[in-house]
Amino acid sequence: MKKSLPKYPETIITSKKGVNFVREVVESAGCIFHKIDQDNDLGIDAIIELVRNNLPLSKQIGIQIKSGKTFFNEKKDQCFIPVENHFEYWKNYPLPVYGIIYVPSLKSANWINIKKYLNNYGPCCKIKFNRTKINIFNSANFMKYFICEVINELPEVSFNEALSLFNSKYRSEIYLGMILLFNIAPNKLEMWDIFIKFFKRNSYASIPPLLIYYFAHIPWHGDIAYHGEGFSQKIKLHVQKLFNKFEKQDVAKLLRFIDKENMIARGTIGQSVEAIISSIKNRDQLLLDNIHDRQQPMFIRECAAIIYAYHHRKDALPVLKSLSRQGSYYAEELWIFINENGWIDLYG
């Protein structure tokens, strides 16, 4: 009778491959990998202590490592991490928590900031994320992107690499590419042309609000905190010419960034929207076109009316009264205030 032999589970082999892959990346970068014994694993597989140029960065992170094709959707090129009963544990863990998915067939891994994901999306069954250029977990990207993300530094990349990220189909790469471009090349005409084209061809929902804040650096306003390279007069004139070519729909798109809770006030995105629109040569006509367009949402028309009234004071009363008669309670209140005081101060 043939004796049966114990089998070493394939799942353990696959799991070890993932841990060993991550360990190799971490240690080859000169950082320290502290594996947590499986008996003490409550949802954190290891602690990574970050080191750069042989000096500790005084930063540690917890990591959850998943390995195998069951955590990878090849068709969608998407990774996922089961949350199960770890939501509160990960969310309240004293260190930043990152998830790393290793796919043995690709000999590649990708990472996600678990805490940030859970804070953004709340309780969920799975953490899903796309495989992108910037979340590849390998020796080349570990120092370049991963550590920079953990310690909140911008990676050092060329203009072309930043542009490549900005042209990505993934929001995370578009966002990082935009920040990098703005910091690398604030006085490069090409960068501003790219930003304007992006704004004009994309829907409101696809545009990061940060881009509107960047636009406001040209007309400027008192609550811009900028400490980088100053903007040349050539750049200011060039971008202002582009703003002056904005049409009714572009102004409407800008107005959509104003949020109902904060409206137009100091330190809000509405302040940046107002600064941009107010700088446009044909501002008044563009605002009136949006105010009188009954196809536009009332909130957009009201925001346009606020900026118009800010500049024209009592001369704006007929416009406000007309909007009020169409059902705008806000326009009525604004009409009363300006009629009594003669002006409106958005930033007082």
Q: Hunting for tokens 């003490």 — which residue is that?
A: 40
Whether the CB-CB separation of 111 and 102 falls below 8 Å is answered with no
pLDDT(5) > 80: no
Whole-prediction pTM value? 0.91
- Confidence band of 65 (pLDDT split at 50, 70, 90): very high
CA distance 269 to 57: 34
pLDDT(124) > 70: yes
Taking only the tens place, the pLDDT of each residue in 126-185 is 999 999 999 999 999 999 999 999 999 999 999 999 999 999 999 999 999 999 999 999
From residue 317, how far is each of 301, 337, 339 by CA, in Å? 15, 10, 7
Taking only the tens place, the pLDDT of each residue in 208-255 is 999 999 999 999 998 998 887 889 999 999 999 999 999 999 999 999
Taking only the tens place, the pLDDT of each residue in 72-91 is 998 999 999 999 899 999 99
Whether the CB-CB separation of 199 and 211 falls below 8 Å is answered with yes
Across the range 321-346, mean pLDDT stands at: 95
Domains of the chain: 7-151 (3.40.1350.10), 204-348 (no CATH)
Is the sign of the CA dihedral 146, 172, 65, 79 positive or negative? negative
Ranges of H-type helices in the chain: 10-28, 87-91, 114-121, 139-141, 147-150, 159-166, 171-184, 189-201, 209-215, 233-244, 248-255, 269-279, 283-291, 298-312, 317-325, 329-341
For position 322, what pLDDT does the model report?
Answer: 96
Angle, helix 233-244 to helix 269-279, in steps of 10 degrees:
80
- Confidence band of 204 (pLDDT split at 50, 70, 90): very high
pLDDT(10) > 90: no
For position 304, what pLDDT does the model report?
Answer: 98
- Confidence band of 105 (pLDDT split at 50, 70, 90): confident
Residues sharing a CB contact under 8 Å with residue 161, sequence separation 6 or more, in sequence order: 180
Q: Indicate the average pLDDT of the chain.
A: 93
